[in-house]
Structure 1
Amino acid sequence: MFTKRSFTKLSITKHTLKMATLGVTLVSCATTVSADDAADYPTKPIQFLVAAGAGGGTDNFARVVRPMFEEALDGARITVINLPAASGALAHQRTANGAPDGHTLDFASTTLVTSLAAGQNPIGLDQLTPVARLQSDVMALFVNPERYPDFESFLAYAKENPGKVTVGGTHTASPDHVAFLALRDASGLDMNFIPYDSTGNATANVLGNNIDATTTSLSPLLSYMEAGQMMPILVFSDERLSDYPDVPTTVEHEWDLTDGNDRAIFVHADTPEPILQRLEETFKSVYDSEEYQSYAERVNLDYRDGWMGSDEYRQRLERNYELYSRLLSND
C-alpha cells in the first residue's frame, strides 16, 4: 500500500522510467512542524494555482471553494492564479518548486495523471502530495439524439461499421481521451478518437454530424442537455443516475469502467504532516458544508461521493496511472 511518504520500488524497465516520475524513493519532511505550529496556519497569503484556463470546471471549482476556505481558516487571504499551459504542468511545477509550507495549493483535474501517463507532465507524486479530492464528475458518451436515439442504436452501428465511428473530445491524453480509450478497450469496438481544443468544439462537431459522439463529463453539457440538443446514452457508472434513469451504465454491460473526471488539491510533497492534516480537515469541512453541497447539486456533481482524503486518493492515482499508461501506450 502506498503512503503519503513512500512508494514501492519498481524494476528497471521502460515502463519503470515513466513510473519514476510518480516516485520510487522515500520522501521526508525537511522541516519539523508541530500540531501547535499547524494551528497558526496560514501565516501569509495563500495561492490557489489552477492547472486550467479561466471558466472551466477546475477554475470554477477553485473559485467556488475560495470564500468557503477563507471563512474556514478565519479570514485567510487567497489569490487564484490560472496556469493552463502544458496541460497544467506549469501549475504543478510552481507548486513542486515552491516552499513546502502549505501556502501554495495546486487545483488540478484528472489531467494531472493522464498527462503524466502520456509523458507530457514531468511532475509526479514524488514532488506533489494530494490533500484531498472533492469532485468526481461522471463521464458519459454523448450524441445528437436525432442521430442515435439510444446506446443500442449506437452500438449496433459501431459493430456493423468497424473503424467508421469517430468520437471526439478535448486534447490527446485528456480525461475525455482516456475515457474513450477505456470504453474502446472494454467494449472491443473499433472506433477512432478526434481531439479538439475545447469541449465546445467537440460538441459543435457532434451537433453538426461531423463526428458520431463525444466522451466527456456531465457538468459541461448541462445546457445542451436541457435544450435537448445533446444526450448521454451511456454513463460510466455502476448505477443509473436519478436524473437519467433510462440511460444504461457501463457496468450493466459488464465493463469495469466507472472513472470520472476528478478535481483535487495538491501541495508540495515535503509539506509537513501537521500542515497537510490541517489542510485536509479544512477541505473536509468545506465539502461537508451546506453551501458546498448545494453548489454540487446545482451543477450535477452529487451523483457520486466526491470526497477522498489524502491517503485514499493517492492510491487511486497510482491505480489510474497504471491503467492510463497501458491505454495510451496501446493507442
Structure 2
Amino acid sequence: MTLKTLTLSTLTCALAMHSAYAETYPTKPITLIVSAAPGGTTDIAARMVAEPLSKALGQSVVVENKPGAAGNIAAQQLLKSKADGYTLLLQYSGYQVITPSVMKVQWDPVKDFAPVANVLSAPQVLVVKKDLPVNSMKDLIEYAKAHPGKLNYASSGNGSLQHVTTELLNQMASIETTHVPYNGTGPALTDLLGGLIDFTVTTPPPLLAHIKAGSIKPLVVTSNTKLDSLPEVPTAAEAGLPDLQVSSWFAMYAPKNTPKEVVEKLTTEIHKIMETPEYKAKAQTLGATAEYMDAEQLGKYTQQEVNRWKKVVDAAGIKQQ
C-alpha cells in the first residue's frame, strides 16, 4: 500500500467516524453555559432554546449560568471544553465582540469558537429622563451641542454595548456626553427614573413598563424597523441617524474543531425551533426578534461586529477599568 493510498484510507475512516458520531449524537446530557446570571435576556434566550432542543435531541440540555468578567468566565470554560458537542455556550454579543477590544482575554472571538446559530436579536432604545427638555433625537443632539459634556448617560458597565453604542452616537453626531458606568442595567435605570442620569440606551424589556407609565421618554429605536411594542418610536433612519443600527444578539457557540456534522445537527434543530409560533411570540414579548443565522452566517457576522466595535472602542479610548 502506497503512502498516498494509506493517507486516503485514513481520511476516509476519519470521515466515516465523524459521520457515525453525528448520527448517534447526543448520547448524554448537553451543558449549555450562559454568560449571565439567571433572569436576564441572555439567560431567557438560553432557556427558550434549551427546553425544545432537549425534546428534539432526546437528551437534556442543562443550562449552567457562569456570569462575571464581561463574559470572560463563560468563554474560558468553553475554551477548555472538549470539542465533542456536549458543552456549548450561549453568549451575549456585547461580551463576544466588545470584551476582547476592552480587556485582555486568552481567547479570540472568531478563531477559538465554532459558531452554531444566532437565536435572538433585540435593538436598543434610547430613553431620556422625563423632565429633560427634549422630545426627539434632533432635540437631544442640539441640546448636547449647546451643553457639551453636561449630559450624563448611564451604561451597565465600562465597555458594555450601552457604553459603546452611546460613544458611537457621540462620534456620529459630533457631540460630547459623559459616561457614568453602573453595575448592571437595573441600577442605571433606577437612577434614570430618579432623575440623577439624563439618558441611557438598552434593550426594550426593562424599559417598556416605564415608557408606558410616562416615567421616561423614548427617542429612537436603533434598528431599521419599528418595534411592535413601541410603534410610535422612530427608527434610527427616521431620526436622521441611518448608521445607528445596533442590536444586542444572543448566539450559540461550540468549541473550535467540534465535528461539522454535530454543528449542522444543532443548527438544523435550532432553526426548526425558531420557526415555531411559540418561539416567535416569546421573542416579541421581550421586544426582540427570532432572527436566525446559521453557522456560516454567524461566523461572518461575528467578524464584522468585532471589526466594527473595535474601531469605536479605539476612537473613544475605552479601556478596562
Scaled to the shorter chain, the TM-score interval is: 0.7 to 0.9
SS of 2:272's equivalent in the other structure is helix
Name the residue aligned to 1:87.
Answer: 70
SS of 1:277's equivalent in the other structure is helix
1:123 matched to 2:110: no
1:113 matched to 2:100: no
One of 1, 13, 27 as aligned partner of 1:43: 27
Tell which deviates more after alignment, 291-300 or 263-272. 291-300
Q: Deviations over 1:186-224 (max 9, x none)?
A: 111111211100111111111122121001111232232
Name the residue aligned to 1:102.
Answer: 85
* In structure 1, distance between residues paired with 2:47 and 2:26: 19
Q: How does 1:9-158 map to 2 (within 5 A)?
A: 33-74=17-58, 76-110=59-93, 111-124=95-108, 125-148=110-133, 150-151=135-136, 152-158=138-144
Name the residue aligned to 1:314.
Answer: 299
Identical aligned pairs, as a percentage? 27
Structure 1 gaps of 5+ residues are 1-29
SS of 1:239's equivalent in the other structure is coil
Q: Deviations over 1:25-54 (max 9, x none)?
A: xxxxx9874334312111211101001112
Shift of 1:131: 0.5
SS of 2:207's equivalent in the other structure is helix
Task: Give yes or no for contact 1:72–1:285 (8 Å, CA) kept in 2.
Answer: no
Task: Give yes or no for contact 2:129–2:197 (8 Å, CA) kept in 1.
Answer: no
Q: How does 1:172-191 map to 2 (within 5 A)?
A: 172-191=158-177
Q: Deviations over 1:113-134 (max 9, x none)?
A: 1101213433222211111111
* In structure 2, distance between residues paired with 1:31 and 1:106: 26
TM-score, length basis structure 1: 0.85
TM-score, length basis structure 2: 0.87
Instruction: Note closer, same or farther for the CA distance 1:229–1:254 as it changes in structure 2 (3 Å cut).
Output: closer
Structure 2 gaps of 5+ residues are 1-13, 317-321
Shift of 1:95: 1.0
- Aligned pair count? 299
Amino acid corresponding to residue 246 of structure 2 in structure 1: D
Task: Give yes or no for contact 2:34–2:91 (8 Å, CA) kept in 1.
Answer: yes
1:288 matched to 2:275: yes
Instruction: Note closer, same or farther for the CA distance 1:97–1:163 as it changes in structure 2 (3 Å cut).
Output: same
Q: CA RMSD in A?
A: 1.9
1:299 matched to 2:282: no
Instruction: Note closer, same or farther for the CA distance 1:289–1:245 as it changes in structure 2 (3 Å cut).
Output: closer
1:233 matched to 2:216: no
Task: Give yes or no for contact 2:227–2:287 (8 Å, CA) kept in 1.
Answer: no
Q: How does 1:227-266 map to 2 (within 5 A)?
A: 227-252=213-238, 253-266=240-253
Shift of 1:55: 1.4
Amino acid corresponding to residue 94 of structure 1 in structure 2: Q
Amino acid corresponding to residue 273 of structure 1 in structure 2: K
* In structure 2, distance between residues paired with 1:265 and 1:231: 34
- The structure having more radius of gyration, on CA atoms, is 2
